[in-house]
Amino acid sequence: MPDWAQLVRTRLGDLGLGPEREAEIVAELADHLQDLYDSFRQEGFPDGQAVEQTLASVSDWVALSRNIRRAEGVMSHQECLWLPGLYGLLFYVWCLQLAPGLVFGGRRSGAIWLLQHGDLFRFLFVILPMFVVAAVTAYWSKRAGGGVRERLLAAAFPFFFHLALLPLWLAVYWLRGLPVLNPDMWVQILAGMSATSAAVLLGALPFLRDGQRAHSSGSPPSAKPV
């Protein structure tokens, strides 16, 4: 019979909860595995098979460790916010700057295309990619154990990117002697912000709700071994 406490400690890894709390969790899981092992042995399973069945009761130790950390409020922002958000932002910038040139030819950046073409191009290379990125990053954050706030923030990285560039763009506009108080321009800016924020919300919405989570695992099989 294996040392269940050592096995649990090894497979869960560092939970970042402090030695006392981690010891409590390891002890609880070790007791659970011990109970499963004893029940398999009572049903007539040989030792090796009982150990295999017990270990199979936890299908994904990485996910279990992640769920414990999430339940204890110590999920890493790197895993559930920054990684999905930054990778999603890189893909979005690629769509914005490079994809129009690859699709239509030429070396002009996406910004030039967006200035020279109409709403269809803005939809294809701004709104639609933002929707896709929001959906993918929210799903990624959810799989990493992120809460609703982390999922929404990760999905909104492209929106924050545009928001951060707005003052710079207005400054350049002003330095070139162009009017920055033009009402039509601000109507377009507000319309664009509304459209992009709607794309973020619609893309992330299916992954903002927590479903039923199955915790560890299952009961011993009722059939006795042959």
Q: Going residue by residue through the chain (226 aa), what tens digit of pLDDT does each one get? A: 788 899 888 888 877 677 888 888 899 999 999 999 899 889 888 888 888 988 888 888 888 887 787 776 655 667 788 889 999 999 888 877 765 555 555 544 444 445 455 555 666 667 888 899 999 999 988 887 777 888 999 999 999 988 888 888 788 778 877 777 778 778 877 887 888 899 999 999 999 886 544 333 333 333 333 3
Q: Which residue in 166, 210, 182, 203 sits closest to 67, CA to CA?
A: 210
Shared-domain flag, residues 82 and 14: no
pLDDT value, residue 74: 56
DSSP state of 46: -
pLDDT (0 to 100) of residue 172: 77
Are the CB atoms for 148 and 138 separated by under 8 Å?
no
| pLDDT score, position 136 | 94
- Amino acid at the residue 200: V
Q: Which of 4, 2, 26 is nearest to 14 (CA)?
A: 26
Residue 102 is part of which domain span? 77-207
∠ CA 91-94-100 to the nearest 5 degrees? 135
Q: What are the φ and ψ backbone dihedral angles of 117, each rounded to 5 degrees?
A: -125, 175
Determine the pLDDT at residue 193. Answer: 85
Whether 14 and 56 map to the same domain: the answer is yes
Residue 149 lies in a domain: yes
What angle separates helix 148-155 from helix 157-175, to the nearest 10 degrees? 40
Position 223 in a domain: no
pTM of the model: 0.56
Residue 212 lies in a domain: no
For residue 75, give the nearest of 149, 19, 10, 126 by alpha carbon: 149
Total domains in the chain come to 2
The Cβ-side half-sphere exposure at 39, using a 13 Å CA radius, reads 15
Contact between 12 and 61 under an 8 Å Cβ cutoff? The reply is yes
pLDDT of residue 83: 86
